[in-house]
Amino acid sequence: MKSVYWLKRDFRLLDNPALRAALDRSDDVAMIYIVEPSMIEAPETSELHIHAITGAYNDMRSRVMAAGGKMGWMHMEVIDGLTRLYERQSFDALYTHEEIGVDRTYKRDIAVAQWCEEHGVKWYEYRQTGVFRRLSDRDKRARLWREHYSSDVIATPDVAELRKLDIPKAYSEVRTDDLAIDFADRISSQHERKLQPVSESSAEETLNSFLYDRGIAYRGGISSPVTALTAGSRMSVHLAWGTVSGRVVYQRTQARRAQLKESDEADAKRWRSSLTAFTARLHWRDHFIQRLETEPQMEYEPLNSAYNQIIYDAPEEHIMAWYEGRTGFPMVDACVRCLRATGFINFRMRALLTSTACHVLHIDWKRLDPLMARLYTDYEPGIHISQLQMQAAVVGINTIRVYSPHKQIIDQDPDTAFIKEWIPELREYSPAEIQGHRMESLGSYPGQVVDYISASKAMKSQLYSIKGRKETKEIAQQVYLKHGSRKGPSTRRKKTTATTSK
């Protein structure tokens, strides 16, 4: 049997069920990554994503070549690519992983399914995360998740198996050299020095450094952008592009926790606490991606339709001020500038960026969607869209949180070291001057584009007015039954206190 393994966001050899199945069932496998012009031109795609794709592909290619195999890439739309391959040398099966993506990839995959049916090609899709298609009962998800993450990790194919990977001579459209896209050339040398490497090799190194060196500071260290760069796992980009599987990360973390349980190290208890918090985040990650899988329309509509009534009135200049890091809110601008240079910022600061955009600048979350996506090297549609809606307070089952940009300086960067690193025009000013900055400019640094108090008050008035209505509460109950969290891997529960400012 001749097969095509269509490489998507699963750039790895270890624990790759689609690749394993293709090798087991086929005599010859053509492993191909398809660079879609529609992806390159999509409003959510940036050079940060191309950096990730290029690095991940080239690392995987080098591993395959070292074993005597070949893999390649094509620069065209998927249907065009499959058609050209089939016309030159037909194949019996197509292997991929299940992709939980945006509307563009959803419609593309529908078209691929139709193409396969028309050409008599069997398409095999394999789940690679704890996200389940056609999940009819949300209450079963926690059990299914545990079963998936506790199941055996699929070994890396051996040398003989990798030699089955080949690109037939008939496939003249497929290139087997390094993946080089013009867009990737636009990444500056400055970016290259600050961007996190994305590859299976770097995923292994990053996970080991987290589990045996950096991870002790995870609990308590991931809230501040000052410490999160090292205290955080930094695995999000690898999970997003599939250079490691969540199952591998989970099982290695559990093994490290078990090791620590038997250890007499002085810091063993602190280590276990941090790694317990980390495994809970792995569960939450799939929980949010499951929302997009279950409700694809949330890319365009709030989960709670009552919040369609929100009036957003941000002028274009305020939207661009947010995107370019010149709103006059120092912590917000520092975070955006950090993102533009590194592609990474911690979770709390992402929540701050969304809240400031939607609740203070009155930017529509749908307008914000592609702009924020472009800033994240670890862009994962399910995480991004779910968190965007939650932080914009349009889901209806969460506490409305309006983050204060001023309070976040005091709580997370009191010495303003992070702010000064990314906003050089503020380096000559004291922490007190920066914390007290409001409407007047500080030298060349602008004043706030809007007044925080009046702007946030106006948005909160809208949000609470909508939330208090009977129909909103009824829809919220439906949203919870369909998308709300259930008992996860940990039985610990914390009583939450409703707040409106974080």
DSSP, residue by residue, 9-21: S---STT-HHHHH
Angle at 123 (CA atoms; ends 93, 75), nearest 5 degrees: 80
Q: What is the pLDDT of residue 189?
A: 64
Calculate the dihedral angle through the C-alpha atoms of 302, 305, 306, 311, rounding to the nearest 10 degrees: 50
- Long-range contacts of residues 108-116, Cβ cutoff 8 Å, at least 24 apart: 108/36, 108/38, 108/78, 108/79, 111/78, 111/79, 112/78, 112/79, 112/82, 115/79, 115/82, 115/83
Whether the Cβ atoms of residue 318 and residue 450 lie closer than 8 Å to each other: yes
Q: What would the 3-class secondary structure string for 181-195 be?
A: CHHHHHCCHHHHHHC
Amino acid identity of 7? Answer: L
Helix (H, G, I), strand (E, B) or coil at 46: coil
What letter would DSSP give residue 308? G
Q: What is the pLDDT of residue 414?
A: 97
Output the tens digit of pLDDT for each of the chain's 502 residues.
899 999 999 999 999 999 999 999 999 999 999 999 999 999 999 999 999 999 999 999 999 999 999 999 999 999 999 999 999 999 999 999 999 999 999 999 999 999 999 999 999 999 999 999 988 887 888 899 999 999 999 999 999 999 999 999 999 999 999 997 766 666 666 666 689 999 999 999 999 999 999 999 999 999 999 999 999 999 999 999 999 999 999 999 999 999 999 888 889 999 999 999 999 999 999 999 999 999 999 999 999 999 999 999 999 999 999 999 999 999 999 999 999 999 999 999 999 999 999 999 999 999 999 999 999 999 999 999 999 999 999 999 989 999 999 999 999 999 999 999 999 999 999 999 999 999 999 999 999 999 999 999 999 999 999 999 999 999 999 998 888 876 554 434 343 333 334 4
Q: What is the pLDDT of residue 478?
A: 92
pTM of the entire predicted model: 0.93
Hey, what domains does the chain have and what are their CATH numbers? Answer: 2-128 (3.40.50.620), 133-154+199-287 (1.25.40), 297-483 (1.10.579.10)
Q: What is the pLDDT of residue 416?
A: 98
Q: Which of 476, 336, 322 lies closest to 395 in space, CA to CA?
A: 476
List the structure tokens of 280: 């809970």
List the structure tokens of 206: 């990053």
Q: How many other C-beta atoms lie within 10 A of the C-beta of residue 134? A: 6
C-alpha distances out from residue 285 to 136, 236, 280, 387, Å? 20, 9, 9, 10
Q: Which of 246, 243, 253, 156 lies closest to 203 in space, CA to CA?
A: 243
Integer Rg of the chain from CA:
24
List the structure tokens of 88: 């030159």
Q: What is the pLDDT of residue 135?
A: 87
